[in-house]
């Protein structure tokens, strides 16, 4: 049977409905931990970083004209395409269901966080990542529910190979803005490529169009949980491009120090 067959879609829909109904019976503590969990580091969550345009932190940006071009394109893609789609999606899928989906994708990315925690010498966090995967896969319905944090206080980490290279001493000497992906730098671009090889979704399903559809679905789902944050912070910024550049760079340096 092909991955995109109608039978597969029907089974997937029925499974999701069952999981969503199961969420009603999950203890309040588990739901509350799940709903407040910030499994993906959110660049726009720290307003102080976003508005700190007077920082003395040096940021090498020799490609600024090119970066500003892609910043503007990404900005328009967000407001013209991604946001409307995410709002429509949010109107159909309740927040609890969207958080469950976000948890599921984070659970799949365990190899990235586990391996990089080890490479950074964070043995305790590596153990937590492994424990989270086991508990959430078997007790949290394949990761839809974050029972590991609710029941065992095993918190999600955010280690990636860009951080690992930073811990090893590689600097962020070239700021970059990539189409769709957004802000980055030379070090984090290398890191993202390495992390891609550790992501199970890079290899399955085998059909490229199916993987692209999953990536788009994940992006829309995550965006639907953050609508309004980018808009508010952009409105308050004197120069959104500079604010984003500073916020991204300082956030990444902070993560490396931690």
Q: What is the pLDDT of residues 191-227, one digit of tens each?
A: 999 999 999 999 989 899 999 999 999 999 999 999 9
Q: Round to whole Å and give the CA distance between 16 and 23.
A: 11
Confidence of residue 173 (pLDDT cuts 50, 70, 90): confident
Q: Round to whole Å and give the CA distance between 116 and 114.
A: 6
* pLDDT in the model for residue 44: 59
Confidence of residue 52 (pLDDT cuts 50, 70, 90): low
Arithmetic mean of pLDDT, 54-59:
65
* pLDDT in the model for residue 42: 54
Mean pLDDT (the chain) is 84
Helices (H), the chain: 6-25, 28-36, 47-50, 64-77, 83-92, 95-108, 110-119, 123-138, 147-152, 161-167, 186-198, 208-224, 229-236, 240-257
End-to-end CA distance of the chain: 46
Q: Is the pLDDT score of 8 beyond 80?
A: no
Q: Round to whole Å and give the CA distance between 113 and 126.
A: 7
Q: Token pair for residue 130?
A: 């492994």
* pLDDT in the model for residue 193: 95
Q: What is the pLDDT of residues 92-108, one digit of tens each?
A: 999 999 999 999 999 99
Q: Is the pLDDT score of 56 beyond 90?
A: no
Residues 233, 44 contacting (CB under 8 angstroms): yes
Q: What is the pLDDT of residues 240-255, one digit of tens each?
A: 999 999 999 999 999 9
Q: Round to whole Å and give the CA distance between 240 and 223.
A: 19
Arithmetic mean of pLDDT, 125-143:
95
């Amino acid at each position: 049977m092909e991955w995109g067959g109608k039978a597969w879609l029907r089974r997937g829909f029925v499974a999701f409905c069952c999981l969503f109904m199961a969420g009603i019976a999950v203890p309040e503590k588990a739901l509350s931990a799940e709903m407040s969990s910030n499994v993906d580091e959110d660049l726009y969550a720290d307003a102080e970083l976003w508005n700190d345009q007077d920082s003395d932190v040096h940021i090498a940006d020799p490609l600024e004209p090119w970066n500003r071009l892609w910043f503007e394109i990404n900005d328009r893609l967000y407001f013209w395409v991604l946001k409307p789609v995410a709002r429509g999606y949010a109107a159909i899928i309740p927040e609890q269901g969207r958080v469950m989906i976000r948890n599921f994708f984070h659970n799949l990315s365990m190899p990235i966080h586990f391996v990089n925690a080890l490479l950074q010498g964070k043995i305790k966090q590596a153990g937590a990542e492994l424990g989270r995967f086991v508990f959430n896969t078997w007790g949290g319905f394949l990761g839809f529910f974050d029972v590991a944090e609710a029941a065992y206080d095993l918190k999600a980490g955010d280690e990636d190979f860009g951080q690992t290279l930073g811990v090893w001493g590689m600097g962020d000497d070239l700021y970059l803005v990539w189409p769709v992906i957004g802000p980055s730098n030379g070090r984090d671009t290398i890191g993202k490529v390495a992390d891609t090889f550790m992501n199970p979704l890079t290899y399955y399903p085998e059909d490229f169009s199916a993987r692209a559809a999953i990536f788009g679905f994940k992006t829309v789902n995550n965006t639907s949980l953050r609508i309004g944050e980018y808009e508010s912070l952009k409105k308050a910024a004197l120069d959104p491009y500079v604010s984003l550049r500073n916020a991204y760079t300082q956030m990444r340096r902070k993560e490396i120090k931690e």
